[in-house]
């Protein structure tokens, strides 16, 4: 039996751990295709120069890795004529999806982080919705929608720690904020961010730490640029 794409609302702990909830939406009809977007931004060159980045005279400087994107469309059918799908109210199904991906979550004061899984084609993608379009294409004489094409656009989600590590590779002159996780040490974090574990004394002073050996998980530390 073909696997269906599933979108699950998730919670994010203070330490950045993403955990699925029981709130999920399973597509009745899988997308015909989906687009995965990966891009890199370079510094010191114009947009036109970036298009011919391979040319000899171009000297781009790596800027940063942009957030991964995922775009796809699918059909919600309420006519009951599509095999292997049950007859349903299109408006109810759209609302069910909207509550998962778009509705404002008062506990976190923003829309949910969602985990998308689709068999071997999309094993796991975590991100937030950036756009949802619903195009209603078939109606009853009463005006009730019988079919809709839904387009979803997601941008990948990164914890503060992951974002800081990515930013470090792209912009060593920026300040990073990292949430301490179990097993982290200052020398280890300094190695990740500065490629220099000996900066731990500077970071300990900067964050007013009495010691550097026992970091408390969940603590936020600031790693400023080192000139």
In this structure, are 152 and 164 located in the same domain?
no
Q: For residue 97, is it within any domain? A: yes
- For residues 185 and 133, the model is more confident at 133
pLDDT tens-place string over residues 132-182: 999 999 999 999 999 999 999 999 987 555 555 555 454 545 667 788 888
Q: For residue 1, is it within any domain? A: no
In this structure, are 115 and 200 located in the same domain?
no
User: What does the pLDDT read at residue 170?
Assistant: 43
51: pLDDT strictly greater than 70: no
In this structure, are 50 and 72 located in the same domain?
yes
In this structure, are 180 and 128 located in the same domain?
no
> Among residues 120, 137, 156, which one ends one of the domains?
156
Return the number of other C-beta atoms located less than 10 Å from residue 131's C-beta: 11
- For residues 166 and 196, the model is more confident at 196
What is the average pLDDT value for the chain, to the nearest integer?
A: 82
Q: For residue 200, give its domain range.
A: 160-223
Cα–Cα distance list, 4 to 29, 47, 117, 118 (Å): 7, 39, 8, 6
Q: For residue 142, is it within any domain? A: yes
In this structure, are 34 and 102 located in the same domain?
yes
Q: For residue 177, is it within any domain? A: yes
> Among residues 107, 129, 156, which one ends one of the domains?
156
In this structure, are 10 and 108 located in the same domain?
yes
pLDDT tens-place string over residues 83-132: 655 667 999 999 999 999 998 877 777 889 999 999 877 778 999 999 99
Domain with residue 175: its CATH number is 3.10.350.10
pTM attached to this predicted model: 0.66
In this structure, are 151 and 43 located in the same domain?
yes
- For residues 14 and 113, the model is more confident at 113
Query: What's the average model confidence in pLDDT over 39-61?
Result: 61
In this structure, are 166 and 148 located in the same domain?
no
In this structure, are 34 and 116 located in the same domain?
yes
Number of domains in the chain: 2
Q: For residue 13, is it within any domain? A: yes
Query: What's the average model confidence in pLDDT over 29-38?
Result: 91
In this structure, are 111 and 170 located in the same domain?
no
Q: Minimal CA–CA distance to 202: which of 179, 219, 183, 221?
A: 221
- Res. 194 pLDDT band, cuts 50 70 90: confident
Query: What's the average model confidence in pLDDT over 213-220?
Result: 83
Q: For residue 129, is it within any domain? A: yes
Query: What's the average model confidence in pLDDT over 198-220?
Result: 84
């Amino acid at each position: 039996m073909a696997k269906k794409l599933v979108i699950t609302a998730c919670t994010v702990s203070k330490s950045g751990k993403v955990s699925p909830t029981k709130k999920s939406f399973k597509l009745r009809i899988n997308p015909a295709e989906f687009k995965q977007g990966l891009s890199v931004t370079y510094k010191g060159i114009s947009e036109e120069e970036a298009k011919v980045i391979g040319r000899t005279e171009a000297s781009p400087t790596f800027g940063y890795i942009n957030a991964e994107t995922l775009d796809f469309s699918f059909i919600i059918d309420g006519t009951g004529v599509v095999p292997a799908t049950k007859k349903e109210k299109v408006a109810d199904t759209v609302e069910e999806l909207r509550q998962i991906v778009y509705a404002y979550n008062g506990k976190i004061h923003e829309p949910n982080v969602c985990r998308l899984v689709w068999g071997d084609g999309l094993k796991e993608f975590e991100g937030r919705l950036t756009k949802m379009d619903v195009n209603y294409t078939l109606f009853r004489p009463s005006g009730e929608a019988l079919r809709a094409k839904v387009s979803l656009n997601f941008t990948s989600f990164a914890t503060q720690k992951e974002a800081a590590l990515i930013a470090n590779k792209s912009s060593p002159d920026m300040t990073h904020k990292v949430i301490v996780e179990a097993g982290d040490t200052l020398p280890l974090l300094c190695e990740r961010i500065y490629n220099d574990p000996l900066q731990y004394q500077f970071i300990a002073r900067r964050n007013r730490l009495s010691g550097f050996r026992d970091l408390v998980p969940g603590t936020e530390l600031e790693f400023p640029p080192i000139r």
